[in-house]
Chains A and B, each alone.
Chain A
Amino acid sequence: GPKVLQIPSHQIIDMGQMVTLNCDPVSNHLYFYWYKQILGQQMEFLVNFYNGKVMEKSKLFKDQFSVERPDGSYFTLKIQPTALEDSAVYFCASSLPGGLYEQYFGPGTRLTVL
């Protein structure tokens, strides 16, 4: 089936540093998402991105977070600066345009902030 790729699989950084998580979505998909999952807890929506703009974001999407997809390349989540509470697994997903198409998820990037 369609595959979403995420790079890197694991990132360890010091608090206060910047980190960029990369997502390679399914080729014909136009809606992109980031979700956050803290160990042992449910997955939570962060942000949705379409046509170069954020469509919706949750309260977890702090001012230190930003997303972009320059020139159809990777869809990225940047955190600057990072905080200890940003430690989690971040999942990227993509779907066809519209609210009810199946979202395909990547394998996740485990971010550890020390």
Chain B
Amino acid sequence: SQLAEENLWALSVHEGESVTVNCSYKTSITALQWYRQKSGEGPAQLILIRSNEREKRNGRLRATLDTSSQSSSLSITATRCEDTAVYFCATYHTGGLSGKLTFGEGTQVTVIS
């Protein structure tokens, strides 16, 4: 069965620094989505990167996808306190028709002022 997982449970950075969260998965995918979840809220979608894409940017966010190593990363530059959240990767698996997402456990990112 497919499993998406982030590689570290918690990271702390100082405001203004950059941070990278990594994710690995175990089966063939059609796309991978990065989400952010703040305490008491639902996940907010950040970047969707398709299997034929290697990199995608959205403002201060940059996602990469390496299908050969079945891994992805999300980098945040010039971090702000409001970036503090749990960051998840979630995958759409090949052959899926319903849009089912398989989530990783999440990495808590804390930005310290």
Contacts and interface: CB of A to CB of B under 8 A. Distances in A.
A102 B45 contact: yes
B2 to A, nearest CB: 11
A108 interface: yes
A100 B50 contact: yes
A44 B103 contact: yes
Contacts of A95: 99
B96 interface: yes
A100 B103 contact: no
Interface of B: 30-31, 33, 35, 40-45, 48, 50, 88, 90, 92, 96-106
The 8 closest A-B pairs by CB, nearest first: A105-B42, A56-B98, A48-B98, A55-B98, A43-B103, A42-B105, A99-B99, A105-B43
Q: Which of A6, A43, A93, A101 has the most CB of B within 10 A?
A: A43
A91 B88 CA distance: 15
23 contacts: A31-B98, A41-B105, A42-B104, A42-B105, A42-B106, A45-B101, A56-B96, A56-B98, A91-B43, A99-B96, A99-B98, A99-B99, A100-B30, A100-B31, A100-B48, A100-B50, A101-B99, A103-B45, A105-B42, A105-B44, A105-B45, A108-B41, A108-B42
Interface residues of A, number: 29
Contact of A55 (B40, B45, B92, B97): B97
B41 A107 contact: yes
A31 B99 contact: yes
B3 to A, nearest CB: 9
Nearest to A9: B40
